[in-house]
Structure 1
Amino acid sequence: MSSFDKESELIYKCMIQMTNYTGEKAYVAVSLINPQGNYEKTMYIQGDDKEWFPDLKNWWGFTSRNDENLDAISGATIGNGERNIISLSFKPSQIDTGYKVRFESAVENQEYYLVDAEVDLNTATLRNKVEGKGYIRYIRMVPNR
């Protein structure tokens, strides 16, 4: 799953609340973005049918050049008004240093959102509710204690 030292990881529960929209269920790529604004790693994929992964255009461009085991971090799609709770883990050095978690989304035959939502990894705002811009209504993260 991760090359991090398990004892030094910070684990957060993350709720993804979807908007009420019509159409198929959404594919969402959850990625760690480094301080330079580049993809560092895939944290989770909401959607397990690899046929639709290329619809997440920017994420797909990143992941198709890397050797990530996506089967280990993928789950079922959710749609219209549904919610999903996932676990995300971070190194302490990624908090308060400019890292972000990006939520990229797409729905078959509908719009694609490069940044549907983005959460800054800083202690002052990490627990704040972050509004989505597309299929995601909001994101909320809390420490897993």
Structure 2
Amino acid sequence: MSDLIKIAILVLAFTFGKASNSFAQKAATTKYKCMIQMTNYMGEGAYVVISLMDPKGAYEKTLYVMGPDKKWYNTLKEWHKFRSKKPVNISAITGASVTGGDRGVNTIEIENSKINSGYKLRFESAVEDKAYHAKDVEIPLTTESLSAKSDGSGYIRYVRFSPN
């Protein structure tokens, strides 16, 4: 067999291997619709960030940010500290803020390996000139909690998920 054919076969095998690996990684996640119902507070729209927390309680990943203006991200104090240390482009996971009494629906993607493995979802919320809630809602990342309603303790009345 000529060297040119051997090289072509290796290139094809490498390309196919990367494509199937990429497909396997995509298949290892599930998209969920996340509905956040806000309390009837008075004031500006709330900035809410949804974060994946590891089993030790440390930030692992930002899943969604409700609030488009970067200048207010520092009001989400704990998340902002994490984001400052590990900056990533979040433009694809950013949407509008949500006001009192309204609800916001967005889609988040969760790695299946994180479910039932000690991880949590943390919802932080902040409203201009009002209190900040570092753990407005904190949900154990289990199959049971992803199918249940979770009550908030600040601006969020409750959170509910459904597979997308």
Q: What does residue range 105-120 of structure 1 map to in structure 2 within 5 Å? A: 105-120=125-140
1:94 to 100, 114, 120: 114
Paired residue secondary structure (2:64): strand
Letter in 2 for 1:102: R
Q: What does residue range 1-145 of structure 1 map to in structure 2 within 5 Å? A: 5-144=25-164
| Bigger-Rg structure (1/2) | 2
**Residues 73-126 of structure 1 deviation map (CA, whole Å, 9 limit, x = unaligned):** 111111011111111111111010011110000000000000000121111222
Q: Any runs of at least 4 consecutive aligned residues in structure 1 with deviations exceeding 6 A, and if so which?
A: none
Q: How big is the shift at 1:5?
A: 2.1
The percent identity for this pair of structures is 49
| Structure with more of its chain in helix, by fraction | 2
For structure 2, which runs of at least 5 residues remain unmatched after alignment? 1-21
Q: TM-score, normalised on structure 1?
A: 0.94
**Residues 116-145 of structure 1 deviation map (CA, whole Å, 9 limit, x = unaligned):** 00121111222110000000000001111x
2:151 & 2:91 partners in 1: Cα distance?
28
Of structures 1 and 2, the one with the larger relative CO (CA 8 A, separation 6+) is 1
